[in-house]
Structures are given as C-alpha cells and as structure tokens.
C-alpha cells in the first residue's frame, strides 16, 4: 500500500513540475524522509522525531511544539534569519487534531493571492511532520491555526516560532 501511495505522489509531482506549478528544486520536500536503512544485519530503524509531549500545559505551548516538529521534519524547505519584506506568500492552515495527536482535518483559512501553490506545500509539510503527540490532556477543541511565511524561494518559517 505504501508503494502505491508513493507512486501516486510521484505521478502528481511530475505532473505539477511539467505544468510549471512547482519548482523542481522543491521535490525533496514532498517526499517523506527515509527511516530504515540497510545494514549487514538487516534494517536499522531511526527513532521518530520528538513529538509534542503530554506535558504541554496549554494549547499555546503545544502549538509551539508542533511548529518546531514541522520545521524539523521539513528542514530542507525552511529558511532562517530575518523575514523578507514583503513575504512572497502567507497561507494560513487550520489544524484539527484527534486525541492521539493525529490529523483530523486541515482547512485553508487564508489562500494567498500570489503563489497559491504554497497552500499545498504547507499542507504537505504538516502531514509530513504528523502525528504530533497526544492532546487528550488539553481541553477541546483541539484546533489551532498555523501561518506559513514563504520567501521568494518558496521556503518557509512559521509564525508560531517568530520572536
């Protein structure tokens, strides 16, 4: 099943590149990071990236932990340093979670006029970083927004992590 999903993603990506909707230099950000590597004794599995822990005292702290995990899981698609003025694109995604921290839904609350394809890049980045860890200890609803700040190279920073 995983093989079929990967083939579908590759086919869709090739179609987007052919149409000019996505820069081919961004292809590495669309595929999950490999977690198993061949070794002489079989396969070695890397530990998963740290998930937001159940000790986040409130949804704001949890949201910051989620933002850090999104940045970590998409390190090739992010940039650091000062934000450009103006930003190339600013999509806003509403993230709804299940009690276990898996994604219940992603909704677009702001589609940018320029570079609208960044909405899909943002949603892919969120999915790549999920699941996020249990939110069962926090009051419902388990919903928050994340604002993606894209530069001209279509790399992003997250508003939740801005000073």
pLDDT at 88: 96
Q: Is residue 99 part of a domain?
A: yes
Domain-located, residue 11: no
Element (H, E) at 67: helix 59-73
Q: What is the pLDDT of residues 102-159, one digit of tens each?
A: 999 999 999 999 999 999 999 999 999 999 999 999 999 999 999 999 999 999 999 9
Q: Is the pLDDT reported for residue 29 higher than 60? A: no
Per-residue pLDDT at 19: 52
CB atoms within 10 A of CB 111: 12
Number of domains in the chain: 1
Instruction: Label residue 30 by pLDDT band (50, 70, 90).
Output: very low
- What is the average pLDDT value for the chain, to the nearest integer? 79
Q: Show Cβ contacts of residue 24 under 8 Å, excluding neighbours closer than 6 positions.
A: 17
Containing domain of residue 80, as a range? Answer: 48-161
The residue written with tokens 């790549």 in the block is: 128
50-89 pLDDT, tens digit per residue, is 555 557 899 999 999 999 999 999 999 999 999 999 999 9
Domain-located, residue 4: no
Is residue 149 one of the residues assigned to a domain? yes
Across the chain, where does the E strand assignment appear?
Answer: 36-39, 42-45, 92-97, 103-110, 143-150, 156-158
Residue 127 lies in a domain: yes
Q: Is 28 contained in some domain? A: no
What CATH code is carried by the domain that includes residue 66?
A: 3.30.1150
Instruction: Answer whether residue 109 is part of any domain.
Output: yes
Query: Peptide bond before 117: cis, by omega within 30 degrees of 0?
Result: no
Q: Is residue 147 part of a domain?
A: yes
Confidence band, pLDDT 50/70/90 cuts, at residue 163: confident
- CA distances to 15, 33, 44, 116, 135 from 131, in Å: 28, 14, 21, 25, 11
């Amino acid at each position: 099943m995983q093989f079929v999903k990967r083939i579908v993603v590759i086919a869709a990506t090739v179609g987007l590149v052919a149409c000019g909707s996505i820069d081919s230099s961004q292809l590495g950000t669309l595929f999950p990071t490999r977690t198993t590597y061949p070794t002489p004794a079989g396969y070695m599995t890397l530990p998963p990236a740290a998930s937001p822990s159940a000790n986040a005292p409130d949804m704001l702290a949890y949201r910051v932990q989620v933002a850090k995990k999104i940045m970590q899981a998409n390190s090739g698609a992010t940039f650091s340093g000062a934000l450009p003025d103006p930003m190339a694109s600013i999509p806003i995604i509403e993230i709804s979670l299940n009690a276990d921290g898996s994604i219940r839904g992603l909704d677009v609350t702001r589609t940018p006029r320029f570079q609208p394809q960044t909405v899909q890049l943002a949603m892919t980045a969120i999915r790549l970083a999920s699941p996020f860890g249990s939110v069962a200890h926090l009051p419902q609803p388990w919903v928050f927004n994340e604002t993606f700040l894209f530069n001209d190279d279509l790399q992003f920073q997250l508003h939740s992590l801005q000073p």
